[in-house]
Amino acid sequence: MRSILTALQEGRLFELPEAGKARALEFLARILDANPDIEVGTDTIEEIKNREQECNTGIGMGVGVPHVRARREEGELFCAIGWSSQGIAYDASDGKPVHLVVMYYIPGAQKNVYLKEISSLVKAIRKSGGMDPIAQAPDLNAVRNLLLDWVSAGLGDTGPEAVARMIKLEVKQAQTAAVPAVPGAVAGRPAARVTVFSVLVAPPNGVFVLAQDADWVTALEKETGLAQGLSGNAILNAAGHQLFVTGSTPYPGGRILYQCVAIMNGS
């Protein structure tokens, strides 16, 4: 389960958008696009959609493992992880909603590693009693801790387990869900950047973006139709980013606080 451990180390665990399976897969596919090993010209979103039409990647127990198979042999197994507290209607064989989606990029030489990782993940879930703890987790920090428990179980008692325990300790101390820039530029492929932020919509005309980058906040608040876009299910492009709503909280007076993730558009 080394690629899952690496994803947790590098901040590739996200709360998924509320708008269903298609949006969740597109969101994770954009994260996968940041992998510098992916061949230039790969249409990750289209390949993921086509594979889902051929064979549903819900493996049961509330887990989905969509994937892209590389055209090259070399490279490392790479994944992005999404969590849905509500559960996604995934049309899995067991009919259960999916709470955990692990999307993979699989180089040819890593096929057996991928299959072993999925097998280890399934064993860890069964050994822990099922998906309920992650389905009922209050936030991403709790999900991260539970995943690290599974990684520890999957990696064994020596070596990488010590790394997993160290990360878990750091997470518990920091208790932060800040997401760094997603690494990755190679020739012909721009680096992607992921930003977690919030937007408070306060009628009749108040829209307040809560993020660290002051210039980007100003640009986003000038976008017309931002409030309407966040309230709908359409994909929203604004201020040079693709925006995904991962959650929302209503308040008195018609105010709504949206939890969002922005992915910088590669161009």
**Looking only at Cα atoms, what is the longest distance across the chain?**
58
Strand partners, 15: 83
- Model-wide pTM > 0.75: no
User: What order of strands is seen across the sheet that includes strand 241-251?
Assistant: 206-210, 194-202, 255-264, 241-251, 236-238
Give the domain ranges of the chain.
2-174, 194-264
Residue 161, pLDDT score: 52
- Tens digit of each residue's pLDDT (9 = 90 or more) over 249-259: 888 888 998 88
Tens-place pLDDT, residues 216-240: 889 898 888 888 888 876 668 888 7
- In this predicted structure, the answer to whether residue 154 has a pLDDT above a threshold of 80 is no
User: Residues 16-44: pLDDT tens digits?
Assistant: 877 689 989 988 988 888 777 787 777 88
In sequence order, which residues have a C-beta less than 8 Å from that of residue 255 and are 6 or more positions away? 200, 201, 202, 203
Chain mean pLDDT for the chain: 81
- Given a contact cutoff of 8 angstroms between Cβ atoms, the answer to whether 12 and 30 are in contact is no
CATH number of 2-174: 3.40.930.10
The stretch 80-95 carries a mean pLDDT of: 91
Residues 201-213: b if buried by 16+ CB within 10 A, e if exposed = beeeeebebeeee
pLDDT at position 262 over 50? yes
CA atoms within 13 A of residue 105's CA, in its CB half-sphere: 27
Give me the pLDDT at residue 232, please: 76
Give 111's strand partners: none
